[in-house]
Amino acid sequence: MINIVLIMMNGQEINLNNIETSEAKKLEESFNNTDSMFLSFESEGTRVSINKMAIMRLEVVESKTNQTTEHE
């Protein structure tokens, strides 16, 4: 699983967490594709489109495995 952070021009950060690796690659390719003005993806069953001109940077972050600590 991959986490993606969209850094917007106004400084806002949009976190897209626990994305399948294949979907994350598609998002990254879409962001770098100059033929399209919008970055589109599905989030919680809703289709989202963001104007790429509003996005300053896209960061891909590897998810760390969830580690739980047991307390006795």
Write out pLDDT tens, residues 32-54: 988 989 998 887 788 889 999 99
Name the pLDDT band for 31 (thresholds 50, 70, 90): very high
- Residues 46, 42: Cα–Cα separation, whole Å: 5
Angle at 60 between CA 59 and CA 64, to 5 degrees: 130
What is the rounded distance in angstroms from the CA atom of residue 59 to the CA atom of residue 72? 39
Supply the pTM of this predicted model.
Answer: 0.75
Q: What are the domain boundaries of the chain?
A: 2-62
What digits encode the pLDDT tens for the residues 9-28? Answer: 999 999 998 888 888 888 99
CA 66 to chain centre: 19
